[in-house]
Chain A
Amino acid sequence: MKIKLPLLFLAATGAALAAETPAQAIAAPAACAQCQKAAAPADSPSDPSAKALATASAKDGQTFSKDSLYQLDGEFTDDSGRTFTLGELRSHPVVLSLFFASCGYACPLIVTDMLALQDRLPVELRSETRFVLVSFDVNRDTPAALAHYRAERHLDKQWTLLHGNADAVRELAALVGVKYKQEADGMFSHSNLLTVLNKQGEIVHQRIGLTGGLDETAAALVATGK
């Protein structure tokens, strides 16, 4: 007879996706003492005070600015099956969106807008810019599924399609301010956001919603080169 030391219950840290549904329909609750205290302070990602030259270390010893998304050390896999860390996008302007391949409504529109954006960029900037799609659908959007999506949508080598584990995707979504939730039918409810990152991986612009704003987004990309 042998007893295992009870060290095993240092549990896995995987993030379970809660199966809960969005509510746009309900009104905000009435004001009360507690929620006024809890009201979230505004904090712009481009807060100039934090923009200084301060650097933060990443896992692999590279240093990124204090506002750089590339500080996230989550690992992704691209659609060729290669391990990918976001820091590899450094020194490129980036247009990033979260999506899922089987989305029949908003995601195709977002990708179409990103393609339109790619078309309207000046030639030099176009070849420099990376278009990045990260999937919420960690179970179905395998690298192979993403490769299929690339072929279907004729996405060229400027495009990076990423699969990540649930933790990495949730952290990235939290950083860019994207909310998402898997519904019982397997589809995802999600925010529609296009995010522009400068060459350091800092958020410099976001297009919110599905329509318009491409000129501003293109201008933000142009500004990353200045």
Chain B
Amino acid sequence: MNRFLSYEKKDTWIHELSGVTKLIFFLLWSLTSAMTYDTRVLLVMIAVSLVVLKMSRTQFRQVSFVFRAILVFMVLNVIAIFVISPYEGCRIYGSRTDLVRLWGSCWLTKEQLFYLFNIVIKYFTIIPAVFTFLITTDPSELAASMNRIGISYKLTYALAISLRYIPDIQDEYHRIKNAQEARGIEMSGKAKLKDRIVRTASILFPLLFTTMERIDTVSNAMELRGFGKKKKRTWYSARPLKRNDYLVLILTVLFCAVSLFITYRDGSRFWNPFQ
């Protein structure tokens, strides 16, 4: 059964880090990546995040599905930007170097290409960071971490427990889908789109009902064991911050500060090679 983007226990220093550390790293990293359009900074970030991903010993099969999905989304994004605003790059970099005429009066420009290139590498700075974060962080430890940085434990536990039941629901989905297929309700590409949508309902309704039953049991079981009784709760899987955590946190803050400093030194968040 294919399960994607789920935590896998491995023995690396990244797995050993506290969830808080990884969460803060991930947030600052994404923030920096979102703010900077400095190509040099972005390239360094890609390099660093790839090294981190490599060190976490993440295998491609663990992320392949989501990776492809993100790529599709990225391509759509790039096309959309190009269609909606074909001279965005020229506006940003203040110059225009035509390369090829595409259609009518629309030209492909060097500036636009460079701008789109920056967008693409921004994706690639974040993708490895997301993967590393999700694959190396135990969901309940993540819940503990988020609780520690001030988010209500009911909220964070809800997140952890949905991760807990995702595999169960996936299995149930496959069981129901198989049984309905045997009754003749085909999900394969052969059927027409309209039929497929109607037939999906024949899987979704049973799945919904069995899931509701499950939720009922789970919430009773949680209540019977005192969930939500107190304002605070402790966490079996919480990890205290260790030396490595502090090191990573300090390095992250430094790296992000320096990156943003370099980015904004000339008053613009774009690095302009055309001047």
A binds B: no
Q: Which residues of B contact A (CB under 8 A)?
A: none
Q: Which residues of A contact B (CB under 8 A)?
A: none
